[in-house]
Amino acid sequence: MPKSPAKSPGICYLVGAGPGDPGLLTIKGKECIEAADVLVYDYLCNPDLLRHAKAGTQRIYVGKKAGDHTLSQEEINKLIVKLTGEGKVVTRLKGGDPVLFGRGAEEAAELAEAGVRFELVPGITSAIAGPAYAGIPVTHRSHASQLTIFTGHEDPTKDETSLDYAKLAQAEGTKVFLMGVERISEITGALIKHGAKPGTPMALVRWATHGRQQTLVATLGTMAEKVKAAGFKAPAVAVIGDVVTERDAINWFENRPLFGKRVVVTRTRHQAGVLSRKLADLGADVIELPTIRIEEPEDLLGFGELVQDCHKYEWIIFTSPNGVDAFFKMFDKIYNDTRSIGGARIACIGPGTAEKVRARHLAVDLMPEKDFVAEGLVKALKEHQNLENVTILWVKAAETREVIANELTGLGAIVDEAVAYRTVAEKADNLEALARLKNEGADIITFTSSSTVEHFLDLKVELPEGIQIASIGPVTSATLKKHGLPIDIEAKQFTIPGLVAAIEAHCAK
Ligand code: SAH
């Protein structure tokens, strides 16, 4: 009799997701996301982290936002116990560290009582990382050798508070409190009432470590008023003490060139990463709004036959990184030896495409010197050799302009078109981004191809007033112009680094 497969034992990882910057997740935390069958996450977890999950992982949002509980704590406890009991790998992601005001211990106790396996995976807490990203160290040899962290959730004017404000006020060194924006005047008032100096420097850091981080600096005595005047809202971490003055010298995060600029990236989710990362590294608050998605070509079989014959051509031409990916995906299905590509020489439209080819340890024989568009590639080929009767396989998207085929055929070449993929509208994956664009606006929107422009316009989203439009190069710009849109920024080098450089130069003005 066949043995029934062993039921996996089930485990729940209670993981600290860090304060927001996707780089501030531990390696173990990332491994837990990768291993998960189910991800249970909440409001303060950056949803970007979910991209580490394998395909098919179930995602359950149990977000808690003040006053708006999707699930009560009790329901969350029941949910993770149930899922783990069913034998699943459950990764429970909690903002910051799971046991610092995170109720991670309560969830652990429920799991322990139910007799299911669990692990606690610490994370980087906003209580320390938040101030650090505002240029404020929580301890410092000259100012503070002690750190007190408390919750601002409890109302100091009520009797049931378990916090002793008299002792807190007297504590040496730095004080940090979380969840305190709503009660800022009660908290600062209570500290002053019990003897803390009103002139003590104080800062609030909102959405710390995210691109949209905001910092408010005042003193213990003036902060409540400043919060009111600025309409400053949660979530924020508060830090009180002389360490706040260090910010004048080491405010690194907010001094990056694109800090304070909200930039929209319209590429496919899969491709957005490189551009988003470069912009975020320069300090931008990036909204990924995928407008397009890459799909297999209608005639996959026909594409496969051309790929199978690729070694029969004198040249293979690639005009996009997606084309290279699709070509080699098919190639690897047909062949298990890269040498099957034969003696075909390889031409690429620009550096991004060439990089993909080189990643396969294949040399790029030809690329335009600077005009990374179809016309530039045709010119380079024409100057390279007589094209009479030369056989060329052109790997392209269904919707690519016909320039290459038309011009090269005109020069006597024999061109076969291998349609490797299609670009279709992304409809499912952009609701959150659309909401952010509508509610928060944006400073710059980037377009990296004509299809991103056209599919963005199909979404019929109103562009926020004053938004600047950035284009990767002349072909994309022509499409923008065709639709009556202005071009405020255009890359000089028609590549992603070129686009980023143009945005940086524009913002430095
Ligand atoms: N376990 C979390 C804290 C949970 S309590 C941690 O270790 O960070 C929720 C509070 O944390 C919020 O009200 C806010 O005060 C603070 N917080 C969490 N993430 C934050 C962020 N990115 N920026 C500012 N405050 C944050």
Residue 54 near residue 150, CB atoms below 8 Å: no
Q: Which fold has domain 11-124?
A: Cobalt-precorrin-4 Transmethylase; domain 1 (3.40.1010)
Amino acid 162: pLDDT? 85
What is the Cα–Cα distance from 32 to 15, expressed in whole angstroms? 8
Helix 104-114 vs helix 73-85: crossing angle, to nearest 10: 40
162, amino acid identity: S
Considering the entire predicted model, what is its pTM? 0.81
For the CA of 20, the closest atom of ligand 1 is 22
For the CA of 44, the closest atom of ligand 1 is 19
Whether 295-425 and 262-291+426-508 are alike in CATH topology: the answer is: yes
Domain boundaries, the chain: 11-124, 128-255, 262-291+426-508, 295-425
Amino acid 5: pLDDT? 44
Measured at the CA of 494, the angle between CA 268 and CA 447, to 5 degrees, comes to: 35
Half-sphere exposure of 305 (CA within 13 A, CB side): 5
What is the Cα–Cα distance from 464 to 219, expressed in whole angstroms? 35
Hey, which residues are catalytic here? 42, 64, 179
| Ordered strands of the 174-178 beta sheet | 147-151, 174-178, 236-240, 201-206, 214-219
CATH number for 128-255: choose from 3.90.1510.10, 3.40.1160.10, 1.20.1290.10, 3.30.950.10.
3.30.950.10
First-to-last alpha carbon distance for the chain, in angstroms, is: 76
Architecture of domain 262-291+426-508: 3-Layer(aba) Sandwich (3.40)
Distance 18 CA to ligand 1 centre (A): 9
What is the Cα–Cα distance from 506 to 213, expressed in whole angstroms? 22
| Ordered strands of the 285-288 beta sheet | 285-288, 262-265, 444-447, 468-471, 489-490
Any idea what DSSP says for residue 359?
A: T
Amino acid 64: pLDDT? 60
Buried/exposed 209-239: b ≥16 CB within 10 Å, e otherwise: bbbbbbbbbbbbbebbebbeeeebebbbbbb
Distance 173 CA to ligand 1 centre (A): 21
Within 6 Å (CB) of ligand 1, which residues are found? Answer: 19-20, 44, 94-97, 100-102, 125-127, 130, 178-179, 205-210, 234-237
Residue 40 near residue 93, CB atoms below 8 Å: yes
Tell me which residue has its CA closest to atom 13 in ligand 1. 179
Q: Which two tokens stand for residue 466?
A: 């004053």
Distance 370 CA to ligand 1 centre (A): 47
- Encode pLDDT of 207-262 as tens digits: 999 999 999 999 999 999 999 999 999 999 999 999 999 999 999 999 999 999 99
What is the Cα–Cα distance from 365 to 344, expressed in whole angstroms? 10
Any idea what DSSP says for residue 487?
A: -
Residue range 295-425 in CATH 3.40.50.10090: yes
Q: Where are the alpha helices (DSSP H) in 339-495?
A: 351-358, 374-384, 403-410, 431-440, 450-458, 474-482
Distance 421 CA to ligand 1 centre (A): 43
Amino acid 4: pLDDT? 45
* pLDDT mean for each 10 residues of the chain (509 residues): 55 98 96 97 89 92 69 93 97 97 94 97 98 98 96 84 92 97 96 97 97 96 98 97 98 96 89 88 93 92 97 97 96 96 96 95 95 94 96 95 94 97 84 87 95 90 92 95 96 94 95
